[in-house]
Structure 1
């Protein structure tokens, strides 16, 4: 049963998350945990799937003309080193997860309310972008995610990017953070688990479909609603785990 349910779950998560420029790490972890897979399998598998789906989403949104380098680099420059720092810190997880879960659920609610409201886009000031990127990178390392669930809502709420631009920037942001996390895993002497091919095929198919829909078919209001659903899933996972 696991051999059927796991690829199906991975496909659906990759499709949903990639439509908003995300890669699905929190969703993969949730599905694998529900199926009682070992932690030694879950973490590296989620990172590998994240890298694949984020790569596909980055390419799709870039080819559709939504990526903005000037918006991307300040956040990534500050985030990547602090994501490494965050990965070395061990906080009291229950209170921390509840706080983040509540923030994500509030963000989901705001996105649903504001889905059809017009957005006036203005670029962030460089110091503010660096500060926000560093903080998100730290949160990324602390939570073991790619950071997109924090970056995309911030870009939208602050008016720094339109929905598809936010998705494009978040996809590459997640790719870099996930690659950094996997490198740390391998450098520490760990290895990749076997049996990943069916999951990679499922994630690749879901990522292709979802990112194509997000980059070329979904209207901005649709992107916001899909993102709200992603944040709702991630927030519920943090509160219930």
Structure 2
């Protein structure tokens, strides 16, 4: 197990760049926990708790600037939230959970690195028959793995031209918060599984979330940081798939 003080620093370093794009950072927290041999029963609830704080901060910050579309959010969230609750209630067992989580971490890295930049293009909202099952799938993955699903929703919204780039962060933050809460409730709010250092971990990501969501993206070397985060995700995913 890694020294708790060092883990606090790593959590802060992960939360800050994630918050700049409206993400809670669960995939990075899970990657760090996988690399530092956290107990499996601690990983999902801790990642979801940390996700709740950072995504809430990010949503508040982006909502203040008008970067949110309630109708588009609901198109995905209505089906995602109950499926996130269902996913959170399912225990896949150690081996299957490691395989799914490893695959999700590697896919998350790809979503970060290859996130398309299509700002300024004309957008159109998706049809409900497309958005609802998409949200359901992302919600189920979020609940099963302890993530919020936003790391997949963000590039999808931009790639499919369903939303303007400036509104994607706000939508993703709200989506992540709701799925994280539902996933945690689906696990029976297993706060008893959380490590004793959790308040310090929460403090680290809260500070990171405030800084990341409160500054202009142009002030942060985001590309380099995101690539570093993607590398961590790939290493952790490979570690999980190889065990």
After TM superposition, give the deviation of residue 174 of structure 1 in Å: 0.7
- Secondary structure of the residue aligned to 1:186 is coil
Alignment of 1:147-226 (within 5 A): 147-186=149-188, 190=192, 192-213=194-215, 217-218=216-217
In structure 1, list runs of 5 or more residues that go unmatched.
Answer: none
For 2:22, the equivalent position in structure 1 comes to 21
For 2:87, the equivalent position in structure 1 comes to 86
For 2:66, the equivalent position in structure 1 comes to 65
In structure 1, C-alpha distance between the alignment counterparts of 2:113 and 2:189, rounded to whole Å: 40
In structure 1, C-alpha distance between the alignment counterparts of 2:167 and 2:189, rounded to whole Å: 34
For 1:110, the equivalent position in structure 2 comes to 114
After TM superposition, give the deviation of residue 90 of structure 1 in Å: 3.1
Q: How many residues align?
A: 234
In structure 1, C-alpha distance between the alignment counterparts of 2:189 and 2:15, rounded to whole Å: 27
Structure 1's 41 and 83: CA in aligned 2 closer, same or farther, altered over 3 A?
A: closer
TM-score (norm 1): 0.82
For 2:7, the equivalent position in structure 1 comes to 6
Alignment of 1:25-44 (within 5 A): 25-44=26-45
In structure 2, list runs of 5 or more residues that go unmatched.
Answer: none
Structure 1's 66 and 230: CA in aligned 2 closer, same or farther, altered over 3 A?
A: farther
Structure 1's 234 and 12: CA in aligned 2 closer, same or farther, altered over 3 A?
A: same
After TM superposition, give the deviation of residue 187 of structure 1 in Å: 5.2
For 1:237, the equivalent position in structure 2 comes to 236
Structure 1's 25 and 187: CA in aligned 2 closer, same or farther, altered over 3 A?
A: closer
After TM superposition, give the deviation of residue 54 of structure 1 in Å: 0.9
Would you say the 8 A contact 1:151–1:170 is kept in 2?
yes
* RMSD, aligned CA: 3.0
Structure 1's 4 and 145: CA in aligned 2 closer, same or farther, altered over 3 A?
A: same
Would you say the 8 A contact 2:121–2:161 is kept in 1?
yes
In structure 2, C-alpha distance between the alignment counterparts of 1:125 and 1:116, rounded to whole Å: 20
Structure 1's 159 and 90: CA in aligned 2 closer, same or farther, altered over 3 A?
A: same
